[in-house]
Amino acid sequence: MKRSERYSHVLEYFKKNMQHVTTELEFGSVFQLLVATLLSAQCTDKRVNMVTPELFRRYPDARSMAQADEEDIYEYIRSVSYPNAKAKHLVRMANELCENFNGEVPATMEGLTSLSGVGRKTANVLLAVAFGKAAMPVDTHVFRVSHRLGLVGKTATTPLDVEKTLVKNIPEDMQADAHHWLLLHGRYVCTSRAPHCKDCPFNEFCPKLMENSKVR
């Protein structure tokens, strides 16, 4: 099966069966989505959703969080991964928003990645989810599933490589949804360990035996 045919098959299935989906992170504003996404790095959405309600009650926006001490933020997020580093990033990020963007989250890649702790993946999540722009965030799930389904080749060794290939092959108006389709497929079906192949709608043509397959 040609790669273009794989894209058509996968996208058609998801569009028919999953339609519009969005992040599983819980938030009440663009700022809160930014905070939750930053906290979700190397951490589960479930864990993040456990700590953000109290965090957001105390610090609902950039201006209130900019007044916080790192130690205060740490107490709210201590159960997520790397809480010390993330507390530092959150306080700095909130201050940067106030100083450079009047407390509002910027809607550009350049503006977002200028913020402390915000990399390309986090920025793409904000562009896609908060601002409805064509964007393809590549996390570990998207990276893994893209390789396993043969949507990218073995030369796509970095998240940016995968992002560029996906963006090139997925229509702009489907990119935001496609990110979530691939992510959720990786989170619940095409898992890192012991993927649930019997439950996979793509098992009949999954290239898991190909030379460039990431499945073992």
Q: Which of 46, 121, 154, 214 is catalytic?
A: 121
Nearest C-alpha neighbor of 115 from the set 134, 133, 131, 100: 100
Q: Supply the pLDDT for residue 208.
A: 65
Unique residue bearing structure tokens 């996208």: 11
Q: Is 121 a catalytic residue?
A: yes
The pTM assigned to this predicted structure is 0.85
Q: Which of 45, 72, 133, 139 is catalytic?
A: 139
Q: Is 154 a catalytic residue?
A: no
Identify the structural domains of the chain with CATH numbers, from first to last.
3-21+136-199 (1.10.1670.10), 30-130 (1.10.340.30)
> Per-residue pLDDT for the chain (216 aa), expressed as one digit of tens each?
788 999 999 999 999 998 778 888 999 999 999 999 999 998 999 999 999 999 999 999 999 999 999 999 999 999 999 999 999 999 999 999 999 999 999 999 999 999 999 999 999 999 999 998 999 999 999 999 999 999 998 899 999 999 999 999 999 999 989 999 999 999 999 998 888 988 899 988 786 655 454 444
